[in-house]
Amino acid sequence: MTLTRRQAGAPLLAAFGLTRCAKPAPKRPNILFVIADDQSWPVDRTLAATPAFDRLASQGTVFDHAFSACPSCTASRSAVLTGRPIWQTREAGVLYGSFPTDLETFPNQLAAAGYHTGFTGKGWAPGNWQALGRTKHPIGREYNSHRFPEPVPAGIDPRNPAANFAHFLADRPAGAPFCFWFGSTEPHRVYKQGIGLGSGRKLEHVTMPPYWPDVPQIRGDILDYYYEVEWFDRQLGRVIAHLEQTGELDNTLVVATSDNGTPFPRAKVNLYDPGVRMPLVMRWPGHVPAGRRVGQFVSHTDFAPTFLQAAGLPVAGLPGRSLLASAPGRDHAVTALERHTMCRPEGATYPVRALRTAEYLYIRNFQPNRWPTGGEFISSNFTRHGDVDAGPVKTYMESDACQRNHARQYQLCYGRRPAEELYHLATDPHQVVNVSTNTQHAEALKSHAARLEQILRASGDPRMEGKDPWQNYIYHQTTGYGASFNLSLPEEARAKARALGAHKPE
């Protein structure tokens, strides 16, 4: 019998106590997830330069129809971490919520597989992730400047927003891949009023959407927002530069996006595009095509399976789809909201679901008798219409002058809404003309309503059974007037918080 070279070599290897080495496993990629706070798609490039995002776009793939699962930060981040819609995340699906112990998160799964994990800035927040007995943070160890050891590690400048990332990398065990969550706090309010104008931007350069009054106060507020967008992009650039300096950039899957829409009326805390359509770019040389734009629909629930697949881990059982998969993308996105601030009596929610396709946006409001903004109730953020973030645009829109001179815009942003809304995007890209009662769109209304219901039922949404567990979820704010709504606090602490509300807003 004639032995092959491989067979003949085996006894020799065995004689020395050796075995033939298998083909080395491919190197697992690092993962860098960068998330803005309250930034909508698109960015007006005449008002904000975004060279860091543009660089990632030229070297990676841009997704033009990327949608947050929810237009509220805590719930949105829960969907990112778990790969699940908010009704499957239970207590994690509301602002100031908590995190069920049985919910898996992709950072924890990666950590169990040997990844070095951590985050800086805004992670899963605001809320109390330990309230239900969870012992491991949903993202990993926190790296923030106030937590630097003394002395600060060599080569780290705490004044640089990327310093926390450098600290994280300095802690990495030798040879371990990493997963880092860079949670910016921009462009979340509060803004320095007038900083947009002061930085050289012009009021006349603002393109005003039809749902806001065209007045200088609001134009100026938009300029201030874009100043913050630029600041976020500079942070992104610094993190990318540091990754490049360490020689790790090309073996890192980089994803940059935002959690929910801009903090203006009819945007954040709303299921119209300004509230849930997000910027999204992904870079990973050799795995993600460079210079490509994807028009198919993707969801933030797709991040968890994407990262798990990249790391070689199983993704079965997750509703989201990996963005690295070769299967065709979706032709729709589903978004949802339950409770943002405590801005209605008895903690009442504002339950709403939406189905977005290329042709239509269909919205189902389950409680059309309630105010979508919260109405006149003094909310946990100590204002009326508490689901609208404070700022110049809110101040103007709630003025008598606005309600007198801009009644249509006021109604669009603050008024009650019907049980069903339908917007025809080809003729109404800003989603301000509800055609749900227009017979020309009757078939689209019927098909979109049926399709949304089928998706919600198949995925176990309690709303389809007439249930509302969200109203009883504890609101875990611990400071300020909002703590008076926190049923987990002792009555003495809640009474002290209530005392802050003795002087109601005028």
477-486 pLDDT per residue, tens? 999 999 999 9
Residue 76 has pLDDT above 80, yes or no: yes
pLDDT at position 160, please? 62
Instruction: Give the strand pairing for 292-299 and 61-67.
Output: parallel
**Contact call for residues 480 and 389 (beta carbons, < 8 A):** no
pLDDT at position 271, please? 98
pLDDT at position 145, please? 64
Q: Which residues contact 128 (CB under 8 A, 6 or more apart)?
A: 96, 97, 98, 476, 478, 488
pLDDT at position 7, please? 47
**Contact call for residues 482 and 475 (beta carbons, < 8 A):** yes
- Distance in Å from the first CA to the final CA of the chain: 98
pLDDT at position 500, please? 82
pLDDT at position 365, please? 98
**Contact call for residues 324 and 339 (beta carbons, < 8 A):** no
H/E/C letters for each residue in 320-370? CCCCCCCCCCECEEEEEECCCCCCCHHHCCCCEEEEEECCEEEEEECCCCC
Tokens matching residue 61: 């793939």
Residue 505 has pLDDT above 80, yes or no: no
Tokens matching residue 428: 């109404």
Distances in Å between the alpha carbon of 139 and those of 39, 80, 130, 171?
A: 21, 11, 13, 16
- The mean pLDDT value for 53-69 works out to 97
Q: Which residues contact 499 (CB under 8 A, 6 or more apart)?
A: none
Residue 11 has pLDDT above 60, yes or no: no
**Exposed e or buried b for every residue in 288-305, given b needs 16+ CB within 10 A?**
beeeeebeebbbbbbbbb
Residue 156 has pLDDT above 50, yes or no: yes
**Contact call for residues 107 and 75 (beta carbons, < 8 A):** no
Q: What is the residue type of 174?
A: A
- Taking the domains of the chain in order of start, what are their residue ranges? 30-331, 476-506
Distances in Å between the alpha carbon of 472 and those of 94, 170, 346, 486?
A: 11, 43, 9, 11
**Contact call for residues 268 and 260 (beta carbons, < 8 A):** yes
> CA torsion sign, 51 to 53 to 56 to 58?
negative
pLDDT at position 23, please? 55
Distances in Å between the alpha carbon of 486 and those of 383, 489, 497?
A: 17, 6, 10
- Residue 92 CA to residue 125 CA, distance in Å, equals 10
Residue 30 has pLDDT above 80, yes or no: yes
- The residue among 431, 293, 412 whose CA lies nearest residue 356 is 431
The winner for highest mean pLDDT among 9-13, 26-30, 307-311, 498-502 is 307-311
pLDDT at position 316, please? 84
Model pLDDT for residues 170-202, shown as the tens digit of each residue? 999 999 999 999 999 999 999 999 999 999 999
- Residue 219 CA to residue 46 CA, distance in Å, equals 14
* Residue 414's pLDDT band (cuts 50, 70, 90): very high
Percent residues over pLDDT 90 in the chain: 87
Residue 433 has pLDDT above 60, yes or no: yes
**Contact call for residues 486 and 475 (beta carbons, < 8 A):** yes
- Residue 438 CA to residue 22 CA, distance in Å, equals 66
Element (H or E) spanning 57, and its range? Answer: helix 51-59
- Residue 296 CA to residue 319 CA, distance in Å, equals 17
Residue 499 has pLDDT above 80, yes or no: yes
Tokens matching residue 336: 């949802």
pLDDT at position 9, please? 45
pLDDT at position 325, please? 80
* Residue 39's pLDDT band (cuts 50, 70, 90): very high
pLDDT at position 21, please? 52
User: Whose structure tokens read 């006349």?
Assistant: 204
- Residue 307 CA to residue 285 CA, distance in Å, equals 15
Tokens matching residue 161: 């927003």
pLDDT at position 161, please? 61
206 CB-contact burial (10 Å; exposed 0-12 / middle 13-18 / buried 19+): buried
CATH T-level fold of 30-331: Alkaline Phosphatase, subunit A (3.40.720)
What's the chain's average pLDDT? 92
